[in-house]
Amino acid sequence: MSDVRAILHCDLDAFYASVEQRDHSEYRGKPVIVGGAPGERGVVMAASYEARAFGVRSAMPLRTAALLCPDAIFVPGDRDAYVTASEQVMALFRERTPLVEPISLDEAFLDVTATEHLFGDRESMARAIKREVRERCGLVISVGVATNKLCAKIGSDLRKPDGLVVVAPGGEAAFLAPLAIERLWGVGVRTRELLAGWGITTIGALAAFDREALETRLGEFGVAIWERAHGIDDGSVTPSEDYVPKSVGHSHTFFENTLDTRTIESTLLRLSEGVGQRLRDQALLGRTITLTLRVAPFETRTRQRTLADATNDDQRIFHVARDLLREALAEDREGGHISPVRLVGVTASGLVGGEQLKLFEVARHNRLNAALDAVRARFGDEALDRASAKSLKERRRFSGHKSR
C-alpha cells in the first residue's frame, strides 16, 4: 500500500435535473428546473446545465427562474427517484473501496489508497468510476483526485460538467495558488471581503501572507486557512459504520402512457423484486410499502401500507404494492375517469436490521429468494422471472411448448 493517500471526491453533475432527464427522454437537451411550477412561491432545487445557461441557479425563486428561462420544463421533483439513484451510485463506489463518506445524495469522498493494487492507480480508478456511473446509472459525474479531501473537493468542481482533475502528490500548493480565495474551505463572504482589504484575492496570495500576522488578526482560524492555502489537510474519509438508508425503492417510466393493467402489474413485480434483492443485500427489512404513480398530465400519487412484520420478501412486497395499485385504479373507475400511467414505483421504508426477521416463519421464502439472487448474480437480472399461470402459458405458447 502506498504511503501517499489517494482521495477521490465524486460529485454528480446537476443531479436532480439529470435524473429527470435520464428518466424522461423528452427532457434531454432541454432546460429543466426542479422545484415546482413556475408560478409557485418555492425555490429552485436544481437546474440542468441547459437552464443554467440562462442564469438559473439553485435556491433562486421559481418565479425569477421562469422570467430568466420561460421555455424551461418545470418539474416538482421526485425524491424517491433521487434517493434510488444516489444509492445505486454509492453502491458502485463501495465496489472500489469500503471507505466511502457520503456528503449528500450527490457527492461523496472515497479513500482508495488501500485498493489501488486491486483496481489500478487513482486516475485509472477515477476514469473507471466515471465510465461506470454513465453506463450503469445513466448519469454524469465529475471527479477530483488528490492526496487529501481539500484538493479533491476543489478539483471536482473546477471542470464541471463531466470533469476530471488530478492533483499530483506534492503539487497541492501550486494547484491551489492561482484559484480565487473563495474556493478555499472556510472562506465565506465576510472573510473574503476582509482578506480583500489586505490585498489577498487568490489562494496563493494567502499562502504567501505572514502566518503570524494571520494568527494575530484571526486567531486559530487564520492559521487554519493559511495551512489550507498550502494544501495541508489531514482530514480522513470516515464512512458511517451504522449507515442505514431511510428507504429502498425502484421506479420505471413507461415509454408511452399506458392503461394496460397487466403491463403495469408486470412492471410492479419486476420493481418489487429489485427492492427485495437490495434489502437482502443490505440485510434490511422494510415495514412500510409505498406505491408511486405518476399519471397524465403530470400528477404524482402515492399510497402506502404499514405491515405488522417487516419484510424483504419479493412476493410480499409485490402483493402489497399490487393491492395498493388496484385500490387506486378502482377509485379512478368509480370517479368515472381513468388516468393513463406514466410512471410506477415501489419503495420500502421504515427499515430495520435483518436480524429481526422471523426466520422459521419465512424460511422457505428465504431459500427461494437466495436461489433467485444467486441465479441473477451469475446470469443477469433477466435470467429468471417468477411467472403467473397466465404468463407461463403465454411463454409456452410462444416457445412452442404445449400447456399441460
Instruction: Please give the positions annotated as active site.
Output: 107
Find the distance separating the first CA and the last CA of the chain, reported in whole Å: 61
Task: Report, in angstroms and rounded to the nearest whole number, the Rg of the chain calculated over CA atoms.
Answer: 25
